[in-house]
Structure 1
Amino acid sequence: MANKLSPFNPLAIYNLVSAGLWAYLLYRVIVVYPKLGQPAFFQDTRATLNAIQCGALIEIFNSLTGIVRAPLLTTVAQVASRLLLTVGVFQFLPESYNAHNFTFLTLLIAWSTTEVVRYSFYYCNLTLSSGAPRILIVLRYNLFWILYPLGVASELLILYSSLSVAETNYPVAVKWGLIAGMLVYIPGFPMLFSHMVAQRKKVMKSSKSHEKKQS
């Protein structure tokens, strides 16, 4: 592919930096959590997680302006659902019970593993003439079977545990806003999951055809 971008292109750099930041969070789960335990790990990690996730707002701009071909509605839904957690709960409702136990770890594992693979995949596609390595293609379009339901379940459990905190400390509208956010998952999860299934079918079929041509 002769029109591959330079590794110094801003979009390529964004993907590389993002992969590195999410890898750092995954490292913290593996190495730092056993030393700190909960709730210290949550308190020590939530600001970093929020800053990294807020960086994904760039992806909405990229989709809106056509810099990338990602569907705008899908991108907004993914980013907004995460910001509801990292900003709405972790910053303003940090007392939420499920943020202080193993649920926070399953959330970080699902998010960080997904994002390390996703951003690495994009970076390689942008900078390598041969495209992303086969291993990244397989991981990108197969890990979601486990990681996406794990992430959504963790998100909902944390949101549910935040309702009582919101009811105690904020106007009732905040609690109902969280409930509304949870209800969005009813149409949102099938929509995003089916999108990934369709993408997997398309990409894996194309990848197998390419392998047959080379063999």
Structure 2
Amino acid sequence: MRKQIQSPLAPLPLYNIFSAVGWGYVLYNVISVFPKIQQPKFYYQTKNIVTMIQCCAVVEIFISLFEVVRSPLITTVSQVFSRLLVVIGVFQLLPETPLLKTYTYVVLLSAWSVAEFVRYLYYFYSLADKKGPSEVLVLLRYNLFWVLYPTGVACELLIIYSALPLAEAKYGVFSKWVLLGGMLAYIPGFPVLFSHMVAQRRRGMKKMYQVFCKQN
């Protein structure tokens, strides 16, 4: 059945384009602002906007829960909450975490912003454009994750690990175990999310190949 194209001003396309703009702004900061001000000033200047943009992704849990789009609830919840653990649990509650003031933070933002900018643009054009996303956007959407997802996860884990001593000193041993629990959740979570992305890639590239064969 042919997918119904929505107006660009419909709630879901609007959410996706605003999210793309938000992550595009983060990417702009990585490319243009960081070389000028370096660390740790870059971290202090960007941590709040990154936190705000990432917190908006909570909307995706409800989108998946109410089946507005066909997105697995478990994988959506896992991805959103792992990010929230970093931006709220570390950026906001433990802002003096050592690795946040190093290149690890910059690499993390690079991986997040590129992946999310491409992902939200892809969703927007899939929903609001009769032609759908361009071939370049499809290729980026289904291939960048091979590098960006492991890179992002590695940086997330390094930053959380770096925050453990500070968490215990500032909030007590329970907060340290909360962070450790979050880190342990990556053990089953990473393979599930990565396998989901591989499956999505297989379907997406197959569809792209079929369209290419029809056109030629």
Question: Normalized against structure 1, the TM-score is what?
Answer: 0.98
**Whole-Å separation in 2 of the counterparts to 1:206 and 1:30:** 33
**Aligned residue number for residue 24 of structure 2:** 23
Q: Displacement, 1:2?
A: 6.9
Q: Deviations over 1:153-201 (max 9, x none)?
A: 0000000000010121111000001000000011111110011011111
**Aligned residue number for residue 206 of structure 2:** 205
What residue identity is the alignment partner of 1:44? Answer: Q
Q: Deviations over 1:23-59 (max 9, x none)?
A: 0000001111112111111111111110001100110
- The answer to whether the aligner puts 1:86 opposite 2:87 as a matched pair is yes
What residue identity is the alignment partner of 1:3? Answer: Q
**Whole-Å separation in 1 of the counterparts to 2:200 and 2:58:** 23
Q: Deviations over 1:62-115 (max 9, x none)?
A: 111111111111100000000000000000111111111000001000000001
SS of 1:3's equivalent?
coil
Structure 1: runs of 5+ lacking an equivalent: none
- Of 78-87 and 162-171, more deviation after overlay is shown by 162-171
Query: Conserved in 2, the CA contact under 8 Å of 1:163 and 1:175?
Result: yes
Q: Displacement, 1:3?
A: 2.1
Count of aligned pairs between the two proteins? 215
**Aligned residue number for residue 178 of structure 2:** 177
Residues 115-194 of structure 1 aligned to structure 2 (within 5 Å): 115-194=116-195
Query: Conserved in 2, the CA contact under 8 Å of 1:5 and 1:126?
Result: yes
Identity between Structure 1 and Structure 2 (%):
53
**Aligned residue number for residue 103 of structure 2:** 102
**Whole-Å separation in 1 of the counterparts to 2:111 and 2:34:** 15
Q: Which of structure 1's runs of 4+ aligned residues deviate more than 6 A?
A: none
Structure 2: runs of 5+ lacking an equivalent: none
What residue identity is the alignment partner of 1:152? Answer: V
